[in-house]
Structure formats: C-alpha cells, structure tokens
A and B are shown apart, each in its own frame.
Chain A
C-alpha cells in the first residue's frame, strides 16, 4: 500500500491538472483563460501557509515535548519545502497580477502576506545557517518559528485596512457563504488536497534522508 500512495498522488494531480483546464468553467471577470491560474496559485499559497504552521507545530513540539532532534529536523524541512511552495505561489501570483492588472507587484494585502511569509521563511533559514551547534540551533530556530507564527496574524487583520484589495473576492465572501461555482470549487479543493499531500510526502522523504545522512556521518 505504501508504495502505491505516491502513484495515487501522481494520478490525483494529473486529474486535477486536466480538470483545471477542461472540467472547470472559466470564472467571470477574468481575461481569457487566465482564471485557470486559480487552481495552481491558490493551492500553492495555502500549502505555503500550512507549511509555516506545520513548522511552528514541530518547533513547539521540540521545545516543550522532549527536545527531540527529530522534531527540529521536521520543522527545518517543513520550512525548506514550504519555502519552495511559497516562491511558486508568489511567482504565479505575480504572473497573474501582470495579466490582470498590468503590474507584477502591487502590494495588495494578499501579495504582502505571502511576501511576509516568504521573508520569515528566509529569515528562519538564515538563522539556522548562522548557528553551528545543533542543540543551540534547534532551540533558537524553534523560538523564531513560534515568534513568526505569533506575529503573522497581525498582518492579516491590519493590512487589509491599509489598501483596498485588488484580489478577486475570496472563495468565502463576506456573508460567510461559499461563493464559487461548484465545479470550480471541487477542482480548487482537490488541487489543495493534492498540494498538501505533495508537501507532506516530500517532507517525509526529506526527513528520512536527513536522518540517514546524519546517522551515516557519525563514526
């Protein structure tokens, strides 16, 4: 069963990509086929946030539940993989922005949030690179990851007020109802599930690789 899962994921993602182009209708108000970026950009962004949260959870586990280096490794890998997802989300978002609004970057609130998460990721990785001792590195990085998670919510409720958003209405509109055509929503959620699964699969592989490498390095 375990060896089957990656193949299942491959098939799932293939179907999602097909569905993004052929199953889902176009969204209103977008130029040409560009609304299809939705199925790539949004799940990438959500997964980047999930990665950020996962890193914080593992960091908290490291600090408060036994200081196991395994948890620290998991946090670091979550940031590394999440970083890639974040970069992809930012780039796809910028491309879409270019098509829709003529400029790659507008400091609209969502763009600002994703950039902030990206900067936090980068800062976390810089911190890890600057500490040699394993125990100290784990400890300091874990605290910083938690600080990041504590600070980012401020962003989400202060930034929207500063500028109005160029972003399309969110999936859930102000009334709290889901405001998207049902086929689009299906593909979007399926894409998110696929992205998240991809994240955790790559994460799992990387963690195991690291563990092996560390075990091997020891004489």
Chain B
C-alpha cells in the first residue's frame, strides 16, 4: 500500500520535474506569462495616470484589474502543458506510460508553480505601480495563494479537455471563463477586503471549497478525458 502510494508520488514528481526541465530549456511558458503580465501591468498603470487613482475608487477597482491580469496571463501560458504534448505527439507515449491521476497531479503542480511564480512577480509590481496600500497583507497573500490554486486547477483540467479539440486557444478561453467566474468573483471580493483591512468572512471558506471541489473533480474525471 505504501509502495503503491510512493510509486504514484514518484510518477507525479517525475512529470513535474520533466515539465520544468523542458521549460528551463525553452523558457516558453515563463516568457509568455511574464511578458503578457508585465505588458498588461504597464498598460493598466499608464492608463490610470501618474497620480494613480483616488483611494476610494482604487480600493474597489484595482483588485479587479489585478485578477484580470493574472487570469489572462494564465490563459495565455497554462494550457500549453497539455496542448504541447498533443501537438508534438508526445501524448501517445505518455498515455501508454503514465498513471492518469499521477499525470494530472504532476501537471497541476507544474501549473500551480507557474501561477505562484507569476503572482510573485506581478502582485508586488502591481501594488507599487498603482500605489495601492494593502491593510491586511496576510489575507492578501492567502487570497493569492488560494486563488492561484483554483486558477491552476481549473485551467489544468480545461487544458486537458481542449488539447484534444480543434481551435485550441480560443476554445480554452470559451470553456474556462464560466468555470473560473465564481473563482474570480470570490478572489476579487477577498482582495478588496484585504485592501480595506476587513475580515475575510464566508468568502474565504467558499474559495477553499471551490478549490477543493475543482481539484477533486479534476482528479476523478481526468482519466476519462485523457483516455478513451
């Protein structure tokens, strides 16, 4: 039993390591994410003007902008994890060799690390460029972590779905938007609370519940998506 679990974990880890090794050699996803996020960030900050925005408007609008940047950067960079496998035909070898659930976890871990790395880059820059002060930094970090998790989980599953279809880049956005909308609403509310110093309330529980639900759903149904 223990041996089975550790084999499974070793598989997931192998997938994670392989994806990162390939990523370091090409730096495709990192470049895409960083470039996209940075460009959008500059556009947002520039259009808000040199003096930023009034504190009141800022507290309600800026969190939305932050999460939109993260969402669209994610949509640009995350689907590649599965789409690339199908496009280069390495997916066949993977289908024959990997345990589906371990594969999903490995890919999820990879996507998660990308999202968290992206947030580490974007969030501080964003706060600085728009001069937004956050009163509850602890809650802010928590929301970024949990929200990022939800983003990665949802995106990984949908990437697996669209990788086997045509019209992949637009289809990803079409399929992901309704699935990620509840997440978006929750993280924006929580970020607003973090900025204002208000307590998290029910929204945090719901965010964690969303993360758990999407992850478990993905784990259970990924084998169906992946194999005939």
Contacts and interface: CB of A to CB of B under 8 A. Distances in A.
Classify A-B as touching or not with yes or no (CB < 8 A).
Answer: yes
Interface of A: 63, 116, 119-120, 122-123, 126-127, 130-132, 135-136, 139-140, 142-144, 146-148, 150-151, 154-155, 157-159, 161-162
A140 B161 contact: yes
A144 B175 contact: yes
Nearest to B227: A139
A143 B225 contact: yes
Contacts of A120: 178
A136 B182 contact: no
A130 B171 contact: yes
B132 to A, nearest CB: 21
A150 B161 contact: no
Nearest to B222: A143
Interface of B: 157, 161-162, 164-167, 171, 174-175, 177-179, 181-182, 185-186, 189, 202-203, 206, 209-210, 213-214, 217, 221, 224-225, 228
Contact of B228 (A132, A136, A162): A136
Give the dominant DSSP class at A's interface. Answer: helix
Nearest to B176: A123
Contact of A116 (B165, B174, B178): B178
Contacts of B171: 126-127, 130
Contact of B206 (A116, A147, A158): A158
Q: Give 5 nearest A-B pairs by CB, closest first.
A: A154-B182, A130-B165, A119-B178, A131-B165, A120-B178
A119 B166 CA distance: 19
A143 B161 contact: yes
Contacts of A151: 178-179, 182, 210, 213-214
A131 B225 CA distance: 13
A116 B125 CA distance: 32
Contacts of B209: 154
A132 B166 contact: yes
B10 to A, nearest CB: 27
A162 B224 contact: no
Nearest to A151: B179
A147 to B, nearest CB: 6
A135 B224 contact: no
Contacts of B175: 123, 126-127, 144
B206 A157 contact: yes
Contact of A140 (B165, B186, B217): B165
A144 B175 CA distance: 8
5 contacts: A131-B166, A143-B225, A151-B182, A154-B206, A155-B181
B174 A147 contact: no
A144 B167 CA distance: 17
A148 B161 contact: no
B186 A158 contact: yes
A158 B165 contact: no
Contacts of B166: 130-132
Nearest to B206: A158
A139 B178 contact: no
Contacts of A157: 206
A139 B206 contact: no
A14 B90 CA distance: 60
